[in-house]
Structure 1
Amino acid sequence: MTVAARIGLIVEQPLLQYQLRALLQEAGYHLVYTLSPEQISAEHLRADQVHLWLLCLSENSEHDSLLDQLHTDSDIPVLIEDGSEQWIDEDGPTPRQHRLIKQIEKALPAELEQQPVAELAVNPILDKAQQLSQQANGPVNVWVLGASLGGPEAVCEFLAALPDDLPVAFVYGQHIDPQFNDTLQQAVSKKTTMSTKVLASGDVLRHGEIGLMPVEQRLKLLPLGQVIVLDEPWPGPFSPSIDCLVSQTAELYGTASGCIIFSGMGDDGAKGCEVMQSSGGTVWIQSFDSCANSAMPEAALAVTNSAFVAPPTQLAEAFAQQFSRQ
């Protein structure tokens, strides 16, 4: 039976983390972990589902001791790469990329039956990310607001109680009929002085702004806050997919990310909350008794072990206290 090689990726810079993740997935490898050095725990090092650790640190990294930790606490092979240069070139695959794939093949356990490595191809999304990253400074903190039935009222109550100068960029995923997305934007705008818009390709997430998800087309978050809308539907049964949105945010922003699951039917968001917690992000949940429908919050709470649960106004008070200290 052929088994895809499983790699644990540790990279300091978010943009390089995203580029390497895409490069390795395109080559046919399975990424078990994509982490920053700060997110590494003893549990990660004891995990037996990783065949190889790929450590990518900059020349002046403050995490040099991580290499010793990997060698001491784990029997898994470690491959080290320079983390001070970008991995994606707009002209296509580079010798450096091909060299990395060959080094991974050599470093993997000999007994591992590997899948054939795919040919590297130009990734238009990453090319676009490079262009946009030269034009904007990304947000420090990104939080997802996820909701369905009864959600707009709860989210508006939360936003109305927030100050508008917090160092946070919000992305709002609401299950809604596409024709009412502009109406939702207007309703949210009436409750907050923060800028609110339905996100489109080329937009950049910024602190003090709220980006609403498009409903019919999938939105892709890129490093440094860039946004691209793909000509394809959201995965899964819900549009927009809160699971997809929360997972993307967690994987890109790690400990600087979070999500709040508001009122709604179904369980969309629960899987994303698991990814958020495992990436070091924060999960908050609207209290059941304040929901028009508590199914989504209940599903999220069932898979998390440290979520803060409260009504919308109290969530806002705690949120303001947390970020006003920054």
Structure 2
Amino acid sequence: MGSPRVAVINSDLLQQRILAESLERLGFEVVLNVPAARMTLALIRETQADAWLVTVRDDDEVCGESFDSLLDGEAPVLVGMDDAPDNNCTSFLRWEKKLLTKLRDLTDTPAPAAEVSQVPWAQKQHREILLPAVFADDTRKLPLHIFVLGASLGGPEAVKEFLDVLPEGLPVAFVYAQHIDQRFEQALCQAVGRHSAYQLKNVENAAVLAAGEVLIAPVSTTFDLVGLDRISVGTSPWDGPYGPSIDGVIDVVFNHARQRFGCILFSGMGSDGAESISALPEGTDIWVQAPEGCGNASMPESAIHTGKVTFVGDSYQLALKLVEHLKEKWTENYERKPDHQCG
């Protein structure tokens, strides 16, 4: 069996070179290494790849039809992997190990026996998160909780890891605010939701946000939640330099959900989200991805500095925390006996 074949789409010449060198050193065959502007339908069809490694920047000229075709293809696509640091940087080895783990998972490539002692992280397997029995027969549509998922650089990868391990059937809905170019707003559903039991969907006016769904916050305009979790599309742009504004999304969801509200911030640049978090009541469920595992740690670090964060963990730990949290809340609301019935 030959080496797994990887196609690279990246418009940064330095990143192209580093990726090619790393992939070859890690035992992969680089069958394509081109900028985003060359990602055409014809090129996608003629490239025989076991996996695609795609980085698209705001100023890249990309054909949306080509990108959609790539996501709909049989070969898995890794989108949102953070840029490689300089190979003299102390974090380079950690980045390279992360890349290797991701591509091995995508291509079902086992780690050679000789590597087990050198890279034990490649053998790490998260145990399955099971659906708590209390939710097994739940048929209600309205979610017990609505959690905001906020992310920027490196976010799609981390959010995908989080959603992929969640068991189907939890009474929760998500509103996902991802800094992204508007051209890829529709494609984000496919890239992040590819293996998830949770349905990712773009905003539709008057649609109802149901349990088991992930609403992609619109990039260009605001939205609101009204009544029984009904979506109302706005016409005003978001405040701030990025769309969607994570601060704005937090405000919208908290003002609607109140006691059902929660927020998880993942990898990202900047401090978007920290201002709104600072204004939330003490004890609000505000969790962040552990900074040491982020492609860019400034967003979760800014949230931590507010003093309002109540849990820190990697994507798997955050998913496990959510399952346990929902079970606890369900028990409090629906199963715990009143005090006068005790004894």
Q: 2:228 pairs with 224, 238, 241, which one? A: 224
The 2-side partners of 1:243 and 1:211 are apart by: 16
Give the residue type in structure 1 aligned to 2:299: M
AA aligned to 1:271 is: E
Q: CA deviation at 1:193?
A: 1.6
Residue 243 (str. 1) matches residue 266 (str. 2): no
Corresponding residue of 2:129: none
> Cα distance, 1:306 vs. partner?
4.4
Q: How big is each residue's C-alpha offset from its partner over 1:212-252, in whole Å with a ceiling of 9 and x where there is no partner?
A: 01111111222321111111211222200110111221222
Pairing 1:193–2:183 present? no
Distance across 2 between alignment mates of 1:306 and 1:232: 30
Aligned to 1:124: none
| Correspondent of 1:175 among 174, 179, 194 | 179
**Equivalent in 136, 148, 168 of residue 144 of structure 1:** 148
The separation in 1 between residues aligned to 2:284 and 2:320, in whole angstroms, is 19
Q: Is the CA contact (8 Å cut-off) linking 1:246 and 1:276 kept in structure 2?
A: no
**1:313 lines up with 2:321 in the alignment:** no
Deviation at 1:171, TM superposition (A): 0.6
Contact 2:286 2:308 survives alignment (8 Å): no
Match of 1:295 in 2: 298
The question of 1:206 aligning with 2:210 is answered yes
Name the residue aligned to 2:271.
267
Letter in 2 for 1:188: V
Contact 1:286/1:311 (<8 A) preserved: yes
Q: 1:20-169 counterparts in 2 under 5 A? A: 138-169=142-173
Aligned counterparts of 2:280 and 2:168: Cα–Cα separation in 1: 25
Query: What secondary structure is seen at the aligned counterpart in 1 of 2:288?
Result: strand
Q: TM-score, normalised by structure 2?
A: 0.53
2:215 maps to amino acid: G
Q: Is the 8 A contact 2:287 2:310 kept in 1?
A: yes
Task: Tell me the C-alpha RMSD between the 2 structures.
Answer: 1.7
- Say whether the 8 Å CA contact 1:254–1:281 is kept in structure 2: no
Against the structure 1 CA distance between its residues 249 and 289, is the aligned structure 2 distance closer, same or farther, given a 3 Å change threshold? same
Shift of 1:264: 0.3
8 Å Cα contact 2:201-2:216 kept in structure 1: yes
Cα deviations by residue, 1:255-305 (Å, 9 ceiling, x for unpaired): 211000000001101112123335x53100000011000010011111134
1:139: how far off?
A: 3.2
| Match of residue 255 from structure 1 | 259
For the structure 1 residues 162 and 188, does the alpha-carbon distance in structure 2 shift closer, same or farther, using more than 3 Å as the test?
same
Q: Which whole-Å CA distance do the structure 2 matches of 1:224 and 1:281 have between them?
A: 21
Q: CA deviation at 1:143?
A: 0.5
Unaligned residue ranges in structure 2 (runs of 5+): 1-139, 331-343
Residues 35-86 of structure 1: CA deviation (Å, up to 9, x unaligned): xxxxxxxxxxxxxxxxxxxxxxxxxxxxxxxxxxxxxxxxxxxxxxxxxxxx
- How many percent identity over aligned positions? 41
- Conserved 8 A contact 1:277-1:304: no
C-alpha distance in 2 between matches for 1:321 and 1:284: 14
Residue 159 of structure 1: SS of its match in structure 2?
Answer: helix
What code does the residue aligned with 2:239 have?
P
Match of 1:323 among 323, 326, 332: 326
3-state DSSP of counterpart to 1:170: strand
Aligned residues: 190
| Greater relative contact order (CA < 8 Å, ≥ 6 in sequence) | 1
Q: 1:164 to 1:276 in 2, by over 3 A?
A: farther
Alignment match, 1:283: 286
Please give the secondary structure, in 2, of the residue aligned with 1:188. Answer: helix
Counterpart Cα distance in 2 of 1:306 and 1:155: 18
Change in 2 beyond 3 A, CA 1:224/1:274: farther
Distance across 1 between alignment mates of 2:265 and 2:218 = 18
Instruction: Tell me the TM-score normalized by structure 1.
Output: 0.56
